[in-house]
Amino acid sequence: MRARPAADKLKDLSQRHNRQLSQAVEALQSRYRDAGVTIRFFDIGAKLDYLMSLAEKVDYDTMHNKHEGYIDLPRVFGFAGDTRPLDSSHRHLFHDEVHPSQEVHQILAAHMTDFIREQYGRPA
């Protein structure tokens, strides 16, 4: 489990960065409020934590990364006596210790779009 301490260190760094960014956004909002400027902070770290808690409820793998592709050729062709049917379902959240899967990116982008609409309204 060598990667875990590195992953914990990266998580701490990311959380510290997000806290400082949130404080900077609040300071900018206060500074330019009278000028009619609206600046909001989207807490992507909190949103990712929320998605991970949902994923755990439906048995997605939130602890291990997934390096193999969507098609597992040894199982498709029955190599080495493996006759299990192909399971192409996507049940992991990360490609490596830090990078979320494309599905997680899509979900986060949808949440960010909702946030922008809620905070700033729809474009005219």
Model pTM score: 0.68
pLDDT digits (tens, 9 = 90+) for 31-65: 999 999 999 999 999 999 899 899 888 888 777 66
| Residues near 27 by beta carbon (within 8 Å), at least 6 away in sequence | none
Q: Is the dihedral of CA 88, 90, 92, 94 positive or negative?
A: positive
pLDDT digits (tens, 9 = 90+) for 74-94: 555 656 666 666 555 667 787
What is the three-class DSSP state of 59? Answer: coil
Other CB atoms closer than 10 Å to residue 16's CB: what's the count? 10
